[in-house]
Amino acid sequence: MAETTTDIFVNTVQALSLAKDLEGVMRIVRRVARELTGADGATFVLRDKDQCYYADEDAISPLWKGSRFPLESCISGWVMIHKEPALIRDIYEDSRIPAEAYRPTFVKSLAMVPIRKLDPIGAIGNYWANQHTPTPEQLRALQALADITAVSIENINIRNTLEQEVKDRTRALSESLIREKELGTLKSIFVSMASHEFRTPLGAILSSVTLAEKYTATEQQDKREKHYRRIKSSVRNLIDILNDFLSIDKLEAGTIVADMERFDLQALLQDNVEEVEGMRKENQSIRFTHTGPVTVCLDRKMMRNIVLNLLSNAVKYSERDIELVSLINEREILITVTDHGIGIPEAQQDKIFSKFFRASNSSSMQGTGLGLNIVKHYVNLQGGNIDFTSSPEGTTFRVRFPR
């Protein structure tokens, strides 16, 4: 039994309700459009701003699939602009038709209806190889097909928007869960690190205070002062650990920016050397040499932190002399810190700038594994780079900034 228009519509509506994307809709519509009117070809045209895009077609020979034309220069554009169908029995007699575009095709007659009449988003075209006028019934059916197409496209758009929204929210949620988890890990690392790292300076403070109390005689001033120095250095150590911890959070949040100013680098490095004097081991000296001009334009606080970290590591991880060398020429500013200490095991060298990383040969020494991570952030924030070479004979860190 031949399919009636109603049958075609029922099947079409069912098929469209299952279409997942625009391609699916077009595949159904281009076929049904021909079936409904017995046309020799059908096109599915989409409005793309001020152009008509011939997105799909089903015809006895090729039409314009993939082409774009300005709205004003084609009949599908006319249909969209005027929000009404166009019926043309002889295309070569109608001024709305660009004859040149039709000459290579089989088309003699056409019917074109807008998709979504109120505010057209496209058009459906029907074409005949011989002069033909569709019946009013066929035209109504074609317009009904265009209307149901509009509803399907809108549904797909709504579904896509919703799916995108669900995806965005899921991503935001999982990102915040990851951050939450990271914070949790960070907290527990901090607790175990703090309880370990705070014990030594706190113990030193307690023993120095106890001893200083005992030195009551005036002539014991020297001894008292020695203990005050120990207390000060231990407190400074505690503050440094806390500051490192706070900096990491801010650095990772990206809220820290370099505050560039002109200053005397040689003088700053000299101060740094004096600051680590108190940490030096017996028979360990720090030799500092500078070559070239002395003025730089960098972040003074960050530079202090970088050099102090590298120097205190050199002191901590070696027993012998340390060299701090700075060089400024017209191209760059170069600072190197060299020690002759335990070195960084080769297999672990690529992790050395990671947060909390401590090499396997350094576990017996105090440390948090935060210093070099902060140093790298600070160097990068000032547009510089840091690298190192290390062997069991010692380590050299090199920090470079373009001038």
- Residue number of the CB closest to ligand ADP reads 367
| Neighbour-count burial of 73, counting CB atoms closer than 10 A to its CB (0-12 exposed, 13-18 middle, 19+ buried) | middle
CA distance 113 to 146: 7
CA 124 to chain CA centroid, Å, is: 42
Applying CB under 6 A, the residues found at the interface with ligand ADP are 309, 313-314, 317, 339, 341-344, 352, 357-359, 362, 367-373, 395
392 contact partners, CB below 8 Å, separation of at least 6: 342, 343
In the complex, what is the shortest distance from the CB of residue 279 to ligand ADP, in angstroms, rounded to a whole number? Answer: 12
Q: Which is nearer to ligand ADP, 97 or 372 (CB)?
A: 372
In the complex, what is the shortest distance from the CB of residue 399 to ligand ADP, in angstroms, rounded to a whole number? Answer: 13
Q: Which is nearer to ligand ADP, 205 or 359 (CB)?
A: 359
| Neighbour-count burial of 187, counting CB atoms closer than 10 A to its CB (0-12 exposed, 13-18 middle, 19+ buried) | exposed
Which is nearest to 225 in space by CA: 208, 206, 210? 208
285 contact partners, CB below 8 Å, separation of at least 6: 321, 322
Characterize 214-227 residue by residue with b for buried, 16 or more Cβ atoms within 10 angstroms of its Cβ, and e for exposed: ebeeeeeeeebeeb
Q: Which is nearer to ligand ADP, 37 or 305 (CB)?
A: 305
Angle at 362 between CA 388 and CA 184, to 5 degrees: 95
In the complex, what is the shortest distance from the CB of residue 338 to ligand ADP, in angstroms, rounded to a whole number? Answer: 9
136 contact partners, CB below 8 Å, separation of at least 6: none
In the complex, what is the shortest distance from the CB of residue 273 to ligand ADP, in angstroms, rounded to a whole number? Answer: 16
Q: Which is nearer to ligand ADP, 120 or 394 (CB)?
A: 394
Q: Which is nearer to ligand ADP, 84 or 244 (CB)?
A: 244
In the complex, what is the shortest distance from the CB of residue 204 to ligand ADP, in angstroms, rounded to a whole number? Answer: 17
Q: Which is nearer to ligand ADP, 126 or 362 (CB)?
A: 362
In the complex, what is the shortest distance from the CB of residue 344 to ligand ADP, in angstroms, rounded to a whole number? Answer: 5
Q: Which is nearer to ligand ADP, 121 or 194 (CB)?
A: 194
The amino acid that residue 261 corresponds to is: E
The CB-side HSE value for 48 (13 A sphere, CA atoms) comes to 13
In the complex, what is the shortest distance from the CB of residue 163 to ligand ADP, in angstroms, rounded to a whole number? Answer: 44
